[in-house]
C-alpha cells in the first residue's frame, strides 16, 4: 500500500481524504473516484482559501472604477483606453448596466465614478446622503436622441407632437402621418434605460411634468440599442429611437420640428450645439464628493479638447466651454 501518486504532497489538506489504493491498480474505478474526490475537495479548498489578490478595490491608488449608463459606456471605454495609454500606471475599469445601476453603485460605494444619462433623482440623492455619500455632478458630454425609421419608409419629417401621438398609440398606421399603408411597430428601450425615461419626458409628454401620457401598451421594449437598430434596419413598419452616437449610416433619421409649422431639424453636432434640435440632453458623471487625486485628474482630462474630440468621433456632442 503506497500513497497514490496524484496526492504526492501537492495539497496535503486533501491527501487525508484520499482512498489508498495499490499502485498496480492505477486505472481502477476507485482510483478514478479518488481522483474525482481529490478534484472536488481541492476546488472546495481553493474556493474557501482567502485570496490575496482581491485587493483591487477603490482604495487602491491607481485604480478607477467607472460604471453606469449604457449610453455612455462606449464613450467611457474610449476615454479610458486613451487615458490608460497616456498614463500606463493608471487602470480604469468601465462597465455599463444603466444609469440607475451606476448611481446605485456609487451610493453603495463600489465605484469611483458613476455614469448617468439623466440627472440624479431626489430619492437617489436622499439614499446617497443616508449612506454618507455626497454625489457631485459633472457634465461630460451632450447627447441627442435620433428618431429612426427604415430607409424604405417615405416618412422623413415629423413634429414632436406627431411622434408623441405615435408612441402613445393615437396613430397606429403610417398613413396617418403621411406614409404608406403599413402598421406602425413602436420600438423603445427598456424602462431601466435612461434613454427611455428621457424620451418619455421630452417627447411623449413634450416636457410637460403634469402630462401622464404613457407609451402605448404594445410598444416593444428591447433590452439593447442593437436590438432596436437591427429591427429598424430590417422592418419597414418600425419606428425607434436611440442615441445619435449609435445610429448607423444605413438607417434613416427623422427631422423633427418642435411645433407644427416650425423648421424640421435633423440631429447633428451643430444642431444640438445651437439648440435647434429638440431632443438633446446632457450626459453626466457623478463622484462621491468633489473629486480628488487621480479621479480629479481623469475628470479634468475628460474636459480637454483631446478627450472631447473622442466625444465627437463617437457621434455624441462635445461640451462647449
Cα–Cα distance measured from residue 240 to residue 147, given in angstroms and rounded to the nearest whole number: 6
| 231 forms part of the interface with other proteins (CB under 8 A) | yes
Options 191, 207, 248, 309; binder of other proteins; rule CB under 8 A: 191
Q: Output 160 or 238, the one with its CB closest to other proteins.
A: 238
Helix (H, G, I), strand (E, B) or coil at 56: coil
Q: Which is nearer to other proteins, 82 or 182 (CB)?
A: 182
Q: Is 101 in the site for other proteins (CB under 8 A)?
A: yes
Rule CB under 8 A: say whether 152 interacts with other proteins: no
CB of 183 to other proteins, least distance (A): 4
Q: Is 131 in the site for other proteins (CB under 8 A)?
A: no
**Residues 261-320 interacting with other proteins (rule: CB under 8 A):** none
Site for other proteins contains 185 (CB under 8 A): yes
Rule CB under 8 A: is residue 127 a binding residue for other proteins?
yes
Minimum distance from residue 17 beta carbon to other proteins (Å): 7
Q: Is 177 in the site for other proteins (CB under 8 A)?
A: no
Q: Which grid coordinates are listed for 121?
A: 433623482
Instruction: Please give the grid coordinates belonging to residue 226.
Output: 442593437
Q: Does 125 bind other proteins (CB under 8 A)?
A: no
The sign of the torsion formed by the CA atoms of 210, 214, 215, 216 equals: negative
H helices present in the chain, as ranges = 12-15, 29-48, 70-86, 99-108, 122-130, 160-168, 194-199, 225-234, 269-273, 293-302, 305-313
3-state DSSP assignment of residue 60: coil
283 three-state secondary structure: strand
Integer angstrom CA distances of residue 238 from 147, 184, 310? 11, 6, 31
Q: Which of 82, 227, 268, 303 binds other proteins (CB under 8 A)?
A: 227
What is the C-alpha to C-alpha distance for residues 111 and 284, in angstroms, rounded to an integer?
15
| Contact between residue 203 and residue 168 where contact means Cβ atoms under 8 Å apart | no
Site string for other proteins, 12-51 (x = CB under 8 A): ----xx-x-----------------x--------------
Return the range that interacts with other proteins (CB under 8 A); candidates 50-58, 111-119, 234-242, 281-289: 234-242
- Does residue 202 belong to the site contacting other proteins (CB under 8 A)? no
Query: Which of 12, 48, 53, 123 is close enough to bind other proteins by CB under 8 A?
Result: 123
In the complex, the smallest distance separating the C-beta of residue 221 from other proteins, rounded to whole angstroms, is 4
- The reply to whether 223 sits near other proteins by the rule CB under 8 A is yes
Binds other proteins by CB under 8 A, chosen from 230, 250, 270, 292: 230
* Cα–Cα distance, 104 to 127 (Å, whole number): 9
Three-state DSSP class for 25? helix
Q: Which residues pair with 139 in a beta bridge?
A: 284
At how many degrees (to 10) do helices 293-302 and 305-313 cross?
60
By CB under 8 A, how many residues form the interface with other proteins? 36
Q: Characterize the bridge pairing of strands 220-222 and 185-189.
A: parallel
Binding residues (CB under 8 A) for other proteins: these are 16-17, 19, 37, 97-98, 100-101, 104, 123-124, 127, 182-183, 185, 190-192, 197, 212, 214-215, 217-223, 227, 230-231, 234-235, 237-238
Amino acid at each position: 500500500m503506497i500513497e497514490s501518486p496524484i496526492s504526492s504532497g501537492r495539497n496535503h489538506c486533501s491527501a487525508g481524504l484520499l482512498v489508498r489504493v495499490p499502485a498496480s491498480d492505477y486505472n481502477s474505478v476507485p482510483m478514478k473516484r479518488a481522483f474525482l474526490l481529490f478534484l472536488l475537495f481541492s476546488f472546495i479548498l481553493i474556493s474557501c482559501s482567502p485570496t490575496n489578490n482581491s485587493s483591487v478595490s477603490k482604495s487602491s491608488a491607481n485604480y478607477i472604477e467607472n460604471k453606469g449608463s449604457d449610453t455612455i459606456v462606449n464613450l467611457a471605454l474610449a476615454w479610458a483606453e486613451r487615458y490608460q495609454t497616456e498614463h500606463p500606471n493608471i487602470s480604469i475599469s468601465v462597465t455599463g448596466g444603466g444609469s440607475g445601476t451606476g448611481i446605485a453603485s456609487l451610493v453603495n460605494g463600489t465605484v469611483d465614478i458613476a455614469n448617468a444619462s439623466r440627472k440624479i433623482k431626489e430619492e437617489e440623492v436622499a439614499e446617497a446622503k443616508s449612506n454618507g455619500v455626497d454625489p457631485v455632478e459633472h457634465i461630460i458630454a451632450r447627447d441627442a436622441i435620433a428618431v429612426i425609421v427604415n430607409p424604405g419608409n417615405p416618412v422623413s419629417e415629423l413634429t414632436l407632437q406627431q411622434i408623441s401621438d405615435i408612441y402613445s398609440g393615437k396613430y397606429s398606421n403610417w398613413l396617418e402621418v403621411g406614409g404608406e399603408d403599413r402598421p406602425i411597430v413602436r420600438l423603445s428601450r427598456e424602462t431601466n434605460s435612461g434613454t427611455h425615461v428621457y424620451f418619455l419626458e421630452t417627447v411623449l409628454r413634450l416636457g410637460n411634468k403634469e402630462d401622464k401620457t404613457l407609451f402605448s401598451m404594445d410598444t416593444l421594449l428591447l433590452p439593447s440599442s442593437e436590438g432596436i437598430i437591427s429591427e429598424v434596419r430590417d422592418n419597414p413598419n418600425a419606428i425607434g429611437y436611440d442615441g445619435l452616437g449609435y445610429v448607423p449610416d444605413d438607417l434613416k433619421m427623422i427631422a423633427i420640428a418642435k411645433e407644427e409649422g416650425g423648421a424640421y431639424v435633423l440631429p447633428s453636432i451643430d444642431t444640438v450645439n445651437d439648440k435647434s434640435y429638440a431632443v438633446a440632453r446632457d450626459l453626466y458623471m457623478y463622484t462621491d464628493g468633489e473629486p480628488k487625486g487621480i479621479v480629479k485628474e481623469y475628470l479634468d482630462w475628460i474636459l480637454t479638447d483631446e478627450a472631447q474630440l473622442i466625444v465627437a468621433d463617437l457621434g455624441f456632442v462635445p461640451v462647449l466651454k
